[in-house]
Amino acid sequence: MSEVKLPGRLGNPEMTFEEDPRADPRIAAAFGLMALAEGIDPIGPDASYEQALEYAAAFELQGAVAHPAMMEIMPAFDDIESSVETIEGADGNQITLYIERPKNQADRMPCIVHMHGGGMVLATAADPVYIRWRKTLADTGMVVVGVEFRNGGGKLGNHPFPAGLNDCAAATQWTYANKDRLGISRIVVSGESGGGNLCIATALKARREGWIQQIDGVYGLCPYISGSYANPPAELVSLYENDTYMLDCSMMASLVRVYDPSGAHATNPLAWPLQSSTEDLAGLPPHIISVNELDPLRDEGLEYYRKLAKAGVSAVARTVHGTPHGGDIGFVDVAPEMTAETIRSIHGFVNSLV
In a domain, 1, yes or no: no
Instruction: Judge contact between 161 and 120, C-beta under 8 A.
Output: yes
In DSSP terms, which residues pair with 192 in a beta bridge?
A: 221
Q: How far apart are CA 277 and CA 285, in angstroms?
A: 16
Under 8 Å between Cβ of 245 and 326: no
Overall pTM surpassing 0.85 (yes/no): yes
DSSP H helical ranges for 67-217? 67-72, 128-138, 163-177, 179-182, 194-209
| pLDDT for the residue numbered 35 | 55
Q: What confidence score (pLDDT) does residue 265 get?
A: 98
In a domain, 50, yes or no: yes
- What does the pLDDT look like over 313-351, one tens digit per residue? 999 999 999 999 999 999 999 999 999 999 999 999 999
Predicted local distance difference test score (pLDDT) of residue 42? 75
* 60 CB neighbour count, 10 Å cutoff: 21
Considering the domain boundaries, does residue 2 fall inside one?
no
Number of domains in the chain: 1
Helix (H) or strand (E) holding 49: helix 49-64
Residue 338's domain spans which residues? 8-352
DSSP per-residue string spanning 103-163: TT--S-EEEEEEE--STTTS--TTSHHHHHHHHHHHTTT-EEEEEEPPPSSGGG----TTH
* Residues ≥6 apart with Cβ < 8 Å to 155: 57, 60, 124
- Running DSSP on this structure, what letter comes out for residue 42? P
Rounded to whole angstroms, how far apart are CA atoms 79 and 6?
48
From edge to edge, which strands make up the β-sheet containing 143-148?
A: 80-88, 94-102, 143-148, 109-115, 184-192, 217-221, 287-292, 315-320
* Residue 3 covered by a domain: no
SS3 188: strand
Q: What is the pLDDT along the chain (354 residues), one digit of tens a residue?
A: 567 789 999 999 999 999 999 999 999 999 866 555 566 777 877 889 999 999 999 989 988 999 999 999 999 999 999 999 999 999 999 999 999 999 988 789 999 999 999 999 999 999 999 999 999 999 999 999 999 999 999 999 999 999 999 999 999 999 999 999 999 999 999 999 999 999 999 999 999 999 999 999 999 999 999 999 999 999 999 999 999 999 999 989 999 999 999 999 999 999 999 999 999 999 999 999 999 999 999 999 999 999 999 999 999 999 999 999 999 999 999 999 999 999 999 999 999 997
Q: In this structure, what CATH number is given to the domain that contains residue 302?
A: 3.40.50.1820
